[in-house]
Amino acid sequence: MIQLVVFLGNYGREYEKTRHNAAWQFADSLPFGELLDWQSKFKGIYADAGIQSLAETLCNKGVIASKDGSPIRIPENAPAKIFFLKPETYMNNSGQSIIELASFFKIKPEEILIVHDELELPIGTVSLKWSGGLGGHNGLRSAKSVLNTADFWRLRFGISKPSGRDIADYVLSPFTADEQIILSQVFPQAAQLLAKILFSTDPARLIPEWGKKKLLA
């Protein structure tokens, strides 16, 4: 099961609304944000949430429930708490932060979910992916280099690939007003997916539905 959720992005006010920081924007919108007491450590800021408190909060807010409407069942092998991390090493060195926290708490690569922006997916699309290529994403490349494997989970937010524009300039530029509206509508549905992932003993079961789901466009 997932024990660590990493939100990739760049540290600094000038990057807050940029496409490369879609994951940080998502982190700031989480429906269980009141449970997260962010602290500076591990070359970033991190927080943790007890699995029981997380389940209760998500159920109380109607984010997730079992099929019969009763409170969600916590799997027997669920971790006691789940960690959340925003690396502050800047995107290209995200792995430095990830490996510090993962090593300290003895978290395996397959227990890590990395949330990031994805050029190859259109805006309004959310995708759950296991392992595979990195799509030229420097944050993922850094994670792979320190974990010595690409076998970790990814939750991807489409930001659309520009035509005839420098990629570096594009990902570091702000979302348009229309794109920002789309994101604000996508995030609640993505939070439901994240909740399902965190309480799933096998996130791969979610891929048929969420492998590449276009929510809005």
Q: Give catalytic residues, as residue numbers.
A: 20
User: 170: burial class by Cβ within 10 Å (0-12, 13-18, 19+)?
Assistant: middle
User: 91: burial class by Cβ within 10 Å (0-12, 13-18, 19+)?
Assistant: buried
Count of helices and strands (H, E) across the chain:
7, 8
**What element of type H or E holds 41?**
strand 39-41
Enter the tokens of residue 147: 């974990």
90 is known to lie in a ligand binding site:
yes
DSSP summary character for residue 74? P
11 is known to lie in a ligand binding site:
no
60 is known to lie in a ligand binding site:
no
Residue ranges of the annotated binding site for tRNA are 15, 90, 92, 138
Residue ranges of the annotated binding site are 15, 90, 92, 138
